[in-house]
């Protein structure tokens, strides 16, 4: 049939077909970003000691996954398509679905890390640490040591501000890897504060 799809009729070679399908999948991924109304710019994330640097490409990964998903699906069912319009429709739809799935998966991972970090802070007995008294060997803490409940976590004013900043950044994380960096730093601060209780 004249309308049947084939590499010879509609696409000069395999790579033209790949480019067509991937482009349609990317278009579907962009459509998902526009529909959700959340475009997240890429960013560089540094750990506190600046030894670890991570790059998060933000929403750019969604169209990329859309293109890859469209290519994989259309190649699997290549023989069942009757015309170019079917390939275009399936590619855009698959790109949209792949992008939406990736976004939901990443958001669920970030939400889980945020819940764990919030629960961790709620469980801890945060207290301010008196840095001046440490140098004079006087009582090294402000606040009262409680016998019932969790051990105090003594943080300096700067550390407390850093902890609050990390919690805020965790709420704005755009990838679960970025969220993990902030969670790790929060745990490190809390562990440092716990060591001052002994």
pLDDT tens for residues 92-121? Answer: 999 999 999 988 998 899 999 999 998 988
pLDDT at 96: 94
What is the pLDDT, as a whole number, of residue 86? 83
Please indicate whether residue 86 or residue 13 has the higher confidence score (pLDDT).
Answer: 86
pLDDT digit string, tens, across residues 140-160: 444 444 555 677 888 888 888
Q: What is the pLDDT of residue 131?
A: 63
State both tokens at 106. 């990443």
Taking the whole predicted model, whether its pTM rises above 0.75 is answered as no
- Percentage of the chain surpassing pLDDT 90? 23
Residues 34 and 79 sit within 8 Å (Cβ to Cβ): no
Judged against a pLDDT cut of 80, whether residue 183 lies above it is answered with yes
Distance linking the first and last C-alpha atoms of the chain: 83
- Per-residue pLDDT reduced to its tens digit, 33-50: 888 877 777 777 776 665
Question: With b meaning 16 or more CB within 10 Å and e meaning fewer, what string describes 118-151?
Answer: eeeeeebbbbebbeeeeeeeeebbeeeeeeeeee
What pLDDT does residue 149 have?
62
Average pLDDT over residues 184-198: 85
Report percent pLDDT > 70 for the chain.
Answer: 78
Half-sphere exposure of 178 (CA within 13 A, CB side): 22
Residues 160-182: what's their mean pLDDT?
87
Beta pairing class for 152-155 and 125-128: parallel
CA–CA distance, 160 with 155 (Å, rounded to integer): 6
Cβ(21)–Cβ(71) below 8 Å: yes
Count CB atoms within 10 A of the CB of residue 191. 10
């Amino acid at each position: 049939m004249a309308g049947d799809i084939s590499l010879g009729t509609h696409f000069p070679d395999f790579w033209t077909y790949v480019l067509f399908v991937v482009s349609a999948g990317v278009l579907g991924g962009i459509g998902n970003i526009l529909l959700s109304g959340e475009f997240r710019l890429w960013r560089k994330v540094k750990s506190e000691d600046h030894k670890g640097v991570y790059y998060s490409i933000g929403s750019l990964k969604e169209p990329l996954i859309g293109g890859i998903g469209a290519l994989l699906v259309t190649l699997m069912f290549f023989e069942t398509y009757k015309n170019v319009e079917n390939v275009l429709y399936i590619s855009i739809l698959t790109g949209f679905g792949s992008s939406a799935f990736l976004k939901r998966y990443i958001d669920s991972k970030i939400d889980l890390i945020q819940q764990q970090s919030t629960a961790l802070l709620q469980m801890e007995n945060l207290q301010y640490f008196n840095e001046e008294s440490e140098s004079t060997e006087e009582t090294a803490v402000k606040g009262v040591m409680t016998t019932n409940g969790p051990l105090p976590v003594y943080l300096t004013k700067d550390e407390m501000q850093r902890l609050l900043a990390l919690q805020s950044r965790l709420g704005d994380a755009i990838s679960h890897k970025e969220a993990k960096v902030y969670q790790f730093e929060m745990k490190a601060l809390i562990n440092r504060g716990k060591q001052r209780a002994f």
